[in-house]
């Protein structure tokens, strides 16, 4: 396929200890490894397209007492620096963190084996959000199309095969969700599910507050639940990533915040793909106590 005039080639994924990474991210992993966490830093971890921006906005609002003005001072990726982020011409996550007052909120998509050891050593609190694999695969396919730091996704069928094989940025979804799930036995990790947040966000916000040892506050819960609803966040210029340059994220191809629903996979999966996926899923998740809902 010929590139349109003036459009750059998309960079290939680079393997870091067996995990495929966006090339620019792979190039800063040495600096990421050396990062020093503050014991009171809060790490927000997810596999891509699992509600990262949503939970980040929830927690930033909690930290700021529900004050929207304080949250609206900067885009979410400035308020919650993305640890391994690197794209030419934009400050890296590490550079942002070097300037951030500590302790702070930090976002990552790294699987547990690539997370800097300092987070375990300092016993940081962590919040992980997991989303069912079928919806992640669909959302990631659209994201790959608009976020040009990824290789070309190919057809939906080709992308689905890559996703199942773990041949996508940040590697296998299965390894990621299981790795973090098993780690919570020994680490201060609150493990949440995207589907639970969709079903009843006030209940999940209360869980976050309890985990962060904040006093109960129903008015604050209601306010944050409203402010961080998909409808509100999609319109919120400080949360919807529209301020990222078009050559990196092209919202005309697909918006960063596309649908935010559970069960959208049914619109893309064929019957044959679904059967093949289910059989593969069963093998991959065998023996795990982790269970997901694919519809509400």
Model confidence band, residue 240 (pLDDT cutoffs 50, 70, 90): confident
Residue 103, preceding bond cis, omega within 30 degrees?
Answer: yes
Catalytic residue among 38, 109, 226, 227: 109
pLDDT in tens, 202-226: 999 999 999 999 999 999 999 999 9
Helix axes 173-183, 133-146, angle to 10 degrees: 120
Answer yes or no: is pLDDT of 17 > 80: yes
Answer yes or no: is pLDDT of 118 > 70: yes
Active site (annotated) includes residue 109:
yes
Answer yes or no: is pLDDT of 114 > 50: yes
pLDDT in tens, 158-211: 999 999 999 999 999 999 999 999 999 999 999 999 999 999 999 999 999 999
3-state helix, strand and coil shares in percent for the chain, rounded to the nearest 5: 45, 10, 45
pLDDT for the residue 257? 67
∠ CA 182-137-235, rounded to 5°: 100
Look up the pTM and report it. Answer: 0.94
Burial class (CB in 10 A: 0-12, 13-18, 19+), 267: exposed
Model confidence band, residue 255 (pLDDT cutoffs 50, 70, 90): confident
Mean pLDDT on 232-247: 79
């Amino acid at each position: 396929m010929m590139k349109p005039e003036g459009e750059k080639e998309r960079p290939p994924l680079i393997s870091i200890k067996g995990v495929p990474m966006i090339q620019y991210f792979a190039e800063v992993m040495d600096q990421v490894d050396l990062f020093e966490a503050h014991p009171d830093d809060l790490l927000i971890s997810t596999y891509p397209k699992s509600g990262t921006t949503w939970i980040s906005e929830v927690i930033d609002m909690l930290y700021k007492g529900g004050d929207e003005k304080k949250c609206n001072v900067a885009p979410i990726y400035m308020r919650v620096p993305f640890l391994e982020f690197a794209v030419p011409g934009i400050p890296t996550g590490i550079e942002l963190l070097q300037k951030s007052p500590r302790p702070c909120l930090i976002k990552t998509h790294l699987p547990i084996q690539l997370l800097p050891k300092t987070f375990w050593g300092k016993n940081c609190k962590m919040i992980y959000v997991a989303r069912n694999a079928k919806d992640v695969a669909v959302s990631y396919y659209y994201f790959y199309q608009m976020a040009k730091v990824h290789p070309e996704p190919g057809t939906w069928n080709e992308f689905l095969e890559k996703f199942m094989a773990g041949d996508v940025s940040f590697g296998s979804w299965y390894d990621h969700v299981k790795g973090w799930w098993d780690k919570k036995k020994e680490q201060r990790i609150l493990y949440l599910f995207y589907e639970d947040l969709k079903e009843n966000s006030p209940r999940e916000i209360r869980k976050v507050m309890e985990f962060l040892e904040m006093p109960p506050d129903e008015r604050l819960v209601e306010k944050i639940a409203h402010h961080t609803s998909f409808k509100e966040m999609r319109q919120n210029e400080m949360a919807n990533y529209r301020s990222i340059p078009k050559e990196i994220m092209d919202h005309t191809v697909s918006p960063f915040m596309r649908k935010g629903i559970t069960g959208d996979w049914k619109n893309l999966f064929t019957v044959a793909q679904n059967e093949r996926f289910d059989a593969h899923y069963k093998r991959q998740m065998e023996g795990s106590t982790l269970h997901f809902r694919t519809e509400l």
